[in-house]
Amino acid sequence: MGAQQHRAALGALSRAESRHPLLPALAAQGIGIVAVGLPTLVFFPSLLQQAMLLAMLQGGIAAIMARALQAPSWWLVIHIVFMPLVVGVRALDLPAWTWPTGLILLLLVFWRTDRGQVPLYLSSRECVESVLPLLPSRPCRVIDLGCGDGALLRRLARARPDSRFVGVEHAPLPWLWAWLAGRSLPNLKIVWGSFWSLPLDGYDLVYAYLSPAPMSRLWAKATAEMSSGALLVSNSFAVPERMADSRIAVSDRAMTYFYVYRPADMAV
């Protein structure tokens, strides 16, 4: 595939992924509220005392609607638990300021998860042991796309002081944590921003622990930009319709698998 075709493929994937998933989520929640709220108000007003029951009913209907609107399956869980959680937390009678504070904290941690569909969850400690043997024995360069709290990179940077490690993270709070915690390591750099706008050439290993959603777009970027011989290591999520060079079992409790590719050498 030529560079121009790669750019076109990247553009198409990026447009497809930027459709706002919050709209169907809001629609599903709204339909759940109306479907439960209206009959309750008109026919069974005494049920209004049973807030948790109504919330669970609303969550179930919202999840069914989300399914009908073809939302990814992890949204169904959010729909089922959202309203019961609101009702449960309200019962705790917390001071008013805790609501906006909680919301702001969630936004700062799960920054743009609605669009990118890549929430924050962290690689296990054991992942470091599985990444280290993949690094060349000479000094090399490694990037973690969406580095979260940066813990994986800090461990790698300590284990390989001869090599350079870069983490890029767009969520403000994890970025701040990773940056502060990594300041003392001279071979670690934490960058705030989106990895989509960072070129991947010059790295010997690109590590990604994302979600199924961006994998096709990541593949297009990796084949266009990564250097020959460089490895793309994806924690847990395989590139659709691409055979991995190897699949590595990490001995952790989550029974993690790494999918390892050489994108520059596999581009067809």
Ligand X SMILES: C[S@@+](CC[C@H](N)C(=O)[O-])C[C@H]1O[C@@H](n2cnc3c(N)ncnc32)[C@H](O)[C@@H]1O
Residues that bind ligand X (CB under 6 A): 111, 116, 118, 120-123, 144, 146-148, 152, 168-171, 174, 194-196, 209-210
- Least separation in angstroms between residue 197's CB and ligand X is 8
In order of 3, 167, 196, 264, the CA distances from 201 in angstroms are 14, 15, 13, 10
Helix (H) or strand (E) holding 190: strand 188-192
Nearer to ligand X, 150 or 263 (CB): 150
Q: To which residue do tokens 């919301």 refer?
A: 103
- Least separation in angstroms between residue 35's CB and ligand X is 34
- Least separation in angstroms between residue 167's CB and ligand X is 7
Nearer to ligand X, 63 or 218 (CB): 218
- Least separation in angstroms between residue 84's CB and ligand X is 26
Contacts (Cβ under 8 Å, ≥6 apart) of 162: 139, 187
Alpha-carbon distance of 268 to 263, in angstroms, equals: 10
Q: Which residue is nearest to ligand X (CB)?
A: 146
Nearer to ligand X, 65 or 210 (CB): 210
Alpha-carbon distance of 55 to 61, in angstroms, equals: 10
Residue 234 tokens read as 């994806």
- Least separation in angstroms between residue 67's CB and ligand X is 24
Nearer to ligand X, 44 or 121 (CB): 121
Burial of 20 per CB tally in 10 Å (0-12, 13-18, 19+): exposed
Cβ 159 vs Cβ 132: under 8 Å: yes
Nearer to ligand X, 32 or 148 (CB): 148
